Amino acid sequence: MRRLTVIVLNKTRLFLAAIVAFFLLEILVLFLRATLLIVYMCIIPQKGIIVIDPGHGGIDGGTTKDGVIEKDINLDIAKKLKVILQQKGYQVVMTREENISLNSLDNSNKSRHRRDLNARVNIINKHNPLLFVSVHVNSNYTNTRATGAIVFYGEKYCESKVLAYCIQRALNSIVVNGVKRVTHDPQPGNYFILNNSNVPGVIIETAFISNVEDRSLLTKDEFRKQLAVGIATGIEKYLNDANKVVAPQLNEGQI
Ligand SMILES: [Zn+2]
């Protein structure tokens, strides 16, 4: 009988010890998770919000030529840019992540195109980001030799011009197959999204679909990656050095 009591007591202790061990393990796991979260937040600080606007989408294909459709190129570059900026610690908001038009998000009685643009501006203003970039593809059928990237800025914020110069410089330095791309200066542009957003931002025309070489490049994943890296480099340059920029110049070393 005594022997039986000892065995039962031992089993009870064992059971209690298992419960205590289980809870201790749970506490340890929670502690480790909290520690990892703190380390993660310290290593990858959220530097602020950036809105990426892949131009067009859905019914609005943008400019097209020989099966190359602007809306698809814009979205792919934007997604690549999103990953790069997130890796750099920025919180990224996309105006669209799929092949959709945004006109249904705005219920004003304006045209479909204007409702689409309104929705993009509303997303930008709602998130109050550090800046926004609108990604597009250019075309010029009166001069099909025109190539290269051109960044447009509005007159509303002087910071937009600085941002445009920083991104333009980075895109001007892209080398493809050992050949430097044709370079441009950024240009002022009177565009709805630039005039109506409440933060600095630019429209980036990444290449000319009307030019046979540019069009071919736009279909290549590697080139779209180069464009995304260039845009991200320009954004970082602007955010890190904007306070030092007085008169933005295109030549490296002048910022
Ligand atoms: Zn466009």
Task: Find the 85 Cα to ligand 1 centroid distance in Å.
Answer: 22
Q: Mean per-residue pLDDT for 242-248?
A: 55
Residues with CB in 5 Å of ion ligand 1: 55, 62, 136
Query: How many other CB atoms are there within 10 angstroms of residue 201's CB atom?
Result: 29
184 close to 169: Cβ distance less than 8 angstroms: no
Helix (H, G, I), strand (E, B) or coil at 110: coil
Task: Find the 221 Cα to ligand 1 centroid distance in Å.
Answer: 19
Quote the distance between the C-alpha of residue 229 and its chain's center: 10
Q: Mean per-residue pLDDT for 223-230?
A: 98
Residue 74 to residues 79, 142, 164: CA-CA distances in angstroms?
9, 23, 18
Q: Whole-angstrom Cα distance, residue 47 to residue 195? A: 25
117-142 pLDDT per residue, tens: 999 999 999 999 999 999 999 999 99
Residue 107 has a pLDDT of 87
Residue 253 has a pLDDT of 44
Residue whose tokens read 């290449």: 207
Q: Whole-angstrom Cα distance, residue 71 to residue 73? A: 6
39-97 pLDDT per residue, tens: 666 555 578 999 999 999 999 999 999 999 999 999 999 999 999 999 999 999 999 99
Task: Find the 68 Cα to ligand 1 centroid distance in Å.
Answer: 13
Task: Find the 12 Cα to ligand 1 centroid distance in Å.
Answer: 73
Task: Find the 165 Cα to ligand 1 centroid distance in Å.
Answer: 20
Task: Find the 217 Cα to ligand 1 centroid distance in Å.
Answer: 17
